[in-house]
């Protein structure tokens, strides 16, 4: 019984290391852009609670 617990814990540990390593490898990250405003620019007030409170068009890539 003890060997089974140790084997199971070891398998979980190895799986966790593999998951963390895949994130640390610098894989492509999801990118969200909008044609409604420039990168690093201010979000127009019409897309805020002060304006029409509508969502800007979004483009999602590298998923």
- pLDDT, residue 57, reads 92
Strands 31-33 and 59-61 come out as antiparallel
45's CB contacts (< 8 A; 6+ apart) are: 51
* Total domains, the chain: 1
Identify the domain containing residue 23 by its residue range. Answer: 2-61
32's CB contacts (< 8 A; 6+ apart) are: 58, 59, 60
Query: Tokens 């593999």 — which residue?
Result: 18
For the cut 80, the answer to whether the pLDDT of residue 29 exceeds it is: no
| Average pLDDT across the chain, whole number | 81
Tell which wins on pLDDT, 59 or 14. Answer: 59
């Amino acid at each position: 019984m003890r060997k089974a617990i140790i084997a199971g814990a070891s398998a979980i540990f190895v799986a966790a290391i593999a998951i963390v390593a895949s994130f640390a490898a610098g894989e492509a990250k999801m990118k969200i852009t909008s044609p409604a405003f420039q990168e690093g620019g201010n979000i127009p007030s019409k897309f805020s609670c002060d304006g029409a409170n509508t969502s800007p068009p979004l483009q999602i890539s590298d998923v």
